[in-house]
Amino acid sequence: MTSQNPVIQVDDLTRSYRDVAALQNVSFALQPDIICGLLGRNGAGKTTLMRMLTGQDFPSSGTARMFGENPVENSAVLQQICFVSEGQRYPDGYHARHVLAGAPWFFANWDAAFADALVDKFRLPLKRDVKKLSRGQQSALGVILGLASRAPITIFDEPYLGLDAVARQIFYDALLADYAENPRTILLSTHLIDEVSNLLEHVLVLDEGRLLLDQDAESLRGSASAVAGRAGDVDSFAEGRRVLHRDTLGGLATVTISGRLTPADHRAATAAGLEIAPVSFQQLIVDLSTHPDRRPAVASVAYE
């Protein structure tokens, strides 16, 4: 990948609220035109980080820069960002059509025809007061704003949680298709890890305010395996390896092993009567987040 200046640069970012450290010395950089997943449990610090990136909060220490600049009260930077969050508030009496009609004032790349097509796909009632829309309809409105804005940096803070499975798939399909034609940097915060795993090119994982993982998604896929069989045989196979998780049931055991297994490893497992299966994105993140004593050091991939 050709070296470029990062569009998002975070260095030793810390945010404390009285005795609570919401973010602790977080550092990472994102290059232009990438879909990045921001993952982590509730309270991990994801929303705090996004508020810092969009100039809505101040760091206790460290820096967050967008396009090389501090986003706080920086109109030139903020005009290039679309931040969509669940529970977005609008003025009293606003209908969905008012929200979409006003979007060109805020987003220079706004595509009204694309927005209209998405309105049809999501079956969004345009003449209804936003406050009277169902949760799913409000989520659809946020998704339409984020996609049709075509902002150079678009940040989704789980605005699609109110969508049903069909509507979420419409969102994922529309995002991928439009991103292919109109690349930009998309930061996607979500709990639905397995649903979005195939969309992601890069992954950031926060846990208790710390950056747990900063890694290319392709290298993360297949970076762990589940090995199952008789407990003694499983433990013998896992000896000397990094074990992220272990379950037992009677005389059987399953372990999640970090690292890619070689063909020789697969042959040895087969000879021992063990079964090897890939670990899902979601299970890998869960294992990393729930076993702090087994975590690897923060993994970061440099762009060359």
Confidence of residue 304 (pLDDT cuts 50, 70, 90): very low
The full set of domains in the chain, from first to last, is 8-219 (3.40.50.300), 223-278 (3.30.70.2020)
Contacts of 2 (CB under 8 A, 6+ apart): none
Contact 266, 276 (CB under 8 A): yes
Q: What is the predicted pLDDT for the residue at 4?
A: 73
Confidence of residue 44 (pLDDT cuts 50, 70, 90): confident
Q: Highest-confidence range of 114-118, 208-212, 296-300, by mean pLDDT?
A: 114-118
Is the pLDDT at 264 greater than 80? The verdict is yes
In angstroms, what CA-CA distances link 29 with 32, 188, 198, 209, 276?
A: 10, 15, 21, 17, 35
Determine the average pLDDT of the residues in 102-128.
95
Determine the average pLDDT of the residues in 180-201.
92
Is the pLDDT at 95 greater than 60? The verdict is yes
Confidence of residue 291 (pLDDT cuts 50, 70, 90): low
For the entire predicted model, the pTM comes to 0.85
Confidence of residue 191 (pLDDT cuts 50, 70, 90): confident
Q: In angstroms, rounded to a whole number, what is the distance separating the alpha carbons of residues 48 and 19? A: 15
Contact 220, 182 (CB under 8 A): no
Is the pLDDT at 117 greater than 60? The verdict is yes
DSSP class of residue 69? B
Per cent of the chain over pLDDT 90 is: 69
